[in-house]
Each structure stands twice: as structure tokens, then as C-alpha cells.
Chain A
Amino acid sequence: MTEIELLSWARGPGLQIATVIFVAGIVIRFFEILMLGRKTNLAEAKGSEMSGGLKTMFTRTVPDRATYKRSAFTITAGYLFHFGLFITFFFYAPHILLIKDIIGIGWPSLPTPLVDATAVITIISLLAVLANRLNNKVMRYLTNFEDLLTWFLTLAPLVTGYIAFHRIGFTAPTLLAVHILSVELLMIVFPFTKLMHAFTLFLARWYNGAVSGYKGVAS
């Protein structure tokens, strides 16, 4: 297989396979979660489930002061790499073209050097969170294989993308193919690991808020 063939495979059949697993995994998991249902609460409602749920979906975006004080580093680095991922994925011109081609909606891109700098910050943040995790005894004890795998698969597209953009080491078609393949690997693992939080996060927040809302207490 030539490098151009590899690139074509990654852009075509490879992406198709990854999309099938990614979409099927997410949809099936959502149906499973939603159809599991909740136990009827026999207690009298003291407030609204809906308003409590909706409110919490947004309020949880900002960490409360006490939590922040307890783990300022984890939260700061966590925010940095999440925002970084968001910017590098959604505001780099070639990525927007890909998204527009699939869903039909596009938006203006950010200047490439800005995205480049963001990618570097994101990579550093991801390395920092791992270092922090391994340096802390309790966190190290709680770390399992899935944590390391998802960390690696999140970092890989950033690193391969950075290398492909700056063309380091290999020829461009190979670098681009490796970058696309690393994203496809992430897509395949996505629905079956904790990475799924990107989709279940608002559902979980709503649920937490709804429980409190029903009881008439702040969540």
C-alpha cells in the first residue's frame, strides 16, 4: 500500500468504518440509558424537576469555590485542554471544511497560527494532567487502563495533527494519514469508554438537578 493509498483509505473506507462504530455506539447507548427508566418517586414533589434540571445543566459549568480551592490544578488544566480541544477541532479551517461537508453547516475559521498555539497549549495541559495524576498517590491508585487509554487517544490526534501541520519527519501524505487514523481510533473507542461523557454530560447534569429540584433543594 502506498502512502497516498493509505491516505485515501483513511479519508474514505477508514472514516466510514469509524463513523459506523461511533454513531451506532452512541445511539445504542443513549437508547439503553433512556429506556432504563427511573423508579417512581412516591414522595410529594417540593419543586420542579424540569427547572432544577435545566438550571443545573448550566450552573455545573462553573466549579464552586470550595471545589476549586481543593483541586485548582486539575480544574484549570482540565478547562484548558477542553477549551483547547474545542478550538483546535472546531476552528481550524480544514476541520470546518470536513464538518461542513458532513453536516452542511460551516463557520469562519481562526487564523492558523492561533490554532497552532492552542494545540501546543492543549498538548502541554494534557501532559500536565497526566503528570499530576501519576504524582498523586491516591489518583495513581485510582488510575486504571481505561484512563490511560482515553488520555492517550485524546492526545494522539493533537500530536499527530501538530506534526502533520509542521511536516516533521515523514512525507505529508503519511503524516496526514496517521493524523486521520488517530482520530478514527478515538472515534471507535469513544462510545465504549468514559469519553462518552461528551454526550452524556448534559443528561447527567439534568438528572442531578432534577433530583434536587423535585426535593425543592439547591443542586
Chain B
Amino acid sequence: MKKDSFRTKSTTEEGALEDLLRNHGVSRRRFMTFCASMATMMALPPAMIPRIAKALEQARRPSVIWLSFQECTGCTESLTRAHTSTLESLIFDAISLDYHHTLQAASGHAAEEAREIAMEENYGEYLLVVDGSIPMGNPGYSTIAGISNHDMLVDAAKGAAAIIAVGTCSTYGGIPHASPNPTGAVSVSDIIKDKPIVNVPGCPPIPVVITGVLAHYLTFGTLPELDHIGRPAAFYGNSIHDRCYRRPFYDKGKFAETFDDEGARKGWCLFKLGCKGPTTYNACATTKWNDGTSFPIEAGHPCLGCSEPDFWDGGGFYRALSMPTENIAKTAAYTATGAAVAGIALGALNRAKKKSSHKAHIKITIDDLER
């Protein structure tokens, strides 16, 4: 990817983040702390902190169009409903969010017009954020202003500099994609093949992860380094298991067997209760949720694996990873019964063969041999 291929230029309206932050009563020190944590999260050297700060201060508010398809609004809730007015939410002031169903005041034709104008004015420059999956079974399953999700995505993607797929539905199909997938739900990357796409999965994704991707874009003008399924490697580089504070208990073989036993009370490993931490790559165990308060495992619940494709069909949230997803006991019992019948039949066949060969045996005497 060319380094400056997505460099933003002055788009919708002027206004630096620095002023906005000051207006929101955020001190310089807090802002720098935020930049430092961003740098840490994105695995950048400390020398990059001033660069991030400068870039964010001078950010020229790139136009962002946010499309919501088959989704539950949980992703938007996650990103905007921080319990206090955080720096993470303030970074949204550094972008020009020109279209977002849930957040915009306009509705109907006015809303759609805003999207069309933003697309036209910033053609080739705007960021397209998508949450929710796209139904391919019937275009009527999900429409906005009479336009099918598929058509709106294809149309909006044409002029986008890059696409950020937010949430597991838009990144991998998510819950709508779960078996039997009644709407034929697919991800953004299943449809759009010619644009850079960043996948920010999670159900919902961690707010700071989407902020991190935006901060990276605002700082460097490029998208961050991605892993093999399109996720920013800086945030999805480690598994929950490897960063879990309960990991020592796994290593020692100390497990909670139920949700209210001694092990559960002592905070032992939740592997036996179905924790998908070992196969899930996300930043929950390090960044945590609700302003760094906690994350599901810390609250005593196993990881569901929500940032991985098909997490809904993983054989059950409360079944340990080493347990089969099908009823193997039943399979074995039916097979054993059938095989016993087959075995008896084959055994009888062998006996018959033995008997007939025994009968066909011609006795040879010494006289016969001497002849």
C-alpha cells in the first residue's frame, strides 16, 4: 500500500481538534496521555507521540459516511455511549460525520441528500464506515430510503478512499450470517473487492480500537497494518488467552467448573465453562471496557469469541473448546449398533467360506503321492 495514498485534505469544514478539546475542558496533559496510549496501542515507538498529537491537532476533518445495514446499533452504542465524555468519543469531533442514521438529526430525503452531497463533494476522499451485514437473499430484506443495502454499499464504496467495517456483522457476517443465515447475509469484503478495507470486528468492537484506526488514518494518512483476516494487527495481534490475567490458572490446571463454585469465586480459569479466549484475537484483555474498568472474563464470564468469524456457530458459548460440536456419543452408539450387525454378517460369511473350503478339501493319501 502506498504510504500517502489516502492522505486527507481539507474537506467539509475547518476546525482543529485542539480547539475542540479545549472547549471540552480537556487539558494538554490529558491529550498527550491519550496520544501516548494510542501510540502504545498501535505498537508505535514513543517518538511517534508528538507526531500523533500534531496530526490530531491539525486534523482537517475528513468526511466520513457511516452506513448501517443488518445490525443492532450496538456498534454505534459502543462507540458513542461511553459513560463519560471521553477523549475517544471526542476524536469523533476530528472527523466530519456527514451521514449516520442513528446520530444525524436529519431524516428522510434530507438525510439521503446529505449522503449524496458528501459523496459528491468528497469523491475519492471520504472514509466509508459500515456496520451490519448485507442481505443477498432478497434485496427487500433490508433497505434504506428504498435502496437495497447491496446497492447503497456498492454506490458509496465507489468514491471512498477506504472502508472501515465496524463490528462482526459487517466484517464477517456476524449474527445475521449465523446458520441457517435466512437473509443470505454477507460481509463488506464479500462484496467490495477493489477498495482497502479495515475490519474492526467485535460484538461490539472496543471503542478505542475504532478510535485507534481513525487516529492512525489522521496521523499517517494511511490505514494500519492488517492481519490475515483484515484486522489491525496492533489491536488483534494477541489472543485473549495470551493476555488474560487468569492465564496462570489455566497453566496450573485450576478451573472453575460451574459459575458458583470455589474456583469461580477464586477467579480461576473459565476454559471449562466454554471460554473462547484461546482462539479469539482481540484487545479486551488489555484495553478492557467501560473506561478500562473490566472485560467479560474479569466479570466472571467466558469469552464468546465475538471478534472471530462465525463465532455464533462455534458449537455453543458454554461448551469448552475441546468439546465436540456434534453429539459424538450418539454417532458412536448408532455406528456401533450398525457395525455389530455388519460384523455378525461378515463373521457368518467368513464361517461359511471356511466351511465350504473345508468341504472342498480333497484328502490325499501317500498312495496318491507315490503314483
> Which residues of A come within 8 Å of B, CB atoms?
2, 4-5, 7-8, 11-13, 15-16, 19-20, 23-32, 34-37, 93-95, 97-98, 101-104, 109-113, 167, 171-173, 176
Contacts and interface: CB of A to CB of B under 8 A. Distances in A.
B32 to A, nearest CB: 35
B326 A4 contact: no
24 contacts: A2-B172, A4-B308, A7-B279, A8-B313, A11-B325, A12-B324, A12-B325, A16-B331, A23-B332, A26-B339, A27-B343, A28-B342, A31-B339, A35-B348, A36-B347, A36-B351, A97-B320, A102-B324, A102-B329, A102-B332, A113-B252, A167-B239, A167-B242, A172-B239
Interface SS, A side = helix
Given A12-B315, A13-B326, A93-B272, 16 more contacts: A8-B325, A11-B324, A12-B326, A27-B335, A27-B336, A28-B343, A31-B343, A31-B347, A35-B347, A35-B350, A37-B351, A97-B320, A101-B319, A112-B251, A113-B252, A173-B308
Nearest to B342: A28
B134 to A, nearest CB: 18
B147 interface: no
Interface of B: 172, 228-229, 239, 241-242, 250-253, 255, 271-272, 278-279, 281, 305, 308-311, 313-315, 319-326, 328-329, 331-332, 335-336, 338-340, 342-344, 346-348, 350-351, 354
A198 B336 CA distance: 18
Contacts of A94: 271, 320-322
Given A12-B315, A98-B322, A31 B253 contact: no
B338 A19 contact: no
Contacts of B344: 31, 35
B201 to A, nearest CB: 11
A19 to B, nearest CB: 5
A8 B314 contact: yes
A32 B253 contact: no
Contacts of A25: 339
A98 B335 contact: no
A25 B343 CA distance: 9
B322 A113 contact: no
A173 B281 CA distance: 10
Contacts of B251: 111-113
Nearest to B278: A172
Contacts of B250: 112
Contact of B279 (A16, A32, A176): A176
Contacts of A7: 279
A5 B279 contact: no
Contacts of B331: 16, 19-20
Contacts of A171: 228, 239, 281
A38 to B, nearest CB: 12
Nearest to A13: B326
Nearest to B325: A12
B324 A172 contact: no
A20 B335 CA distance: 6
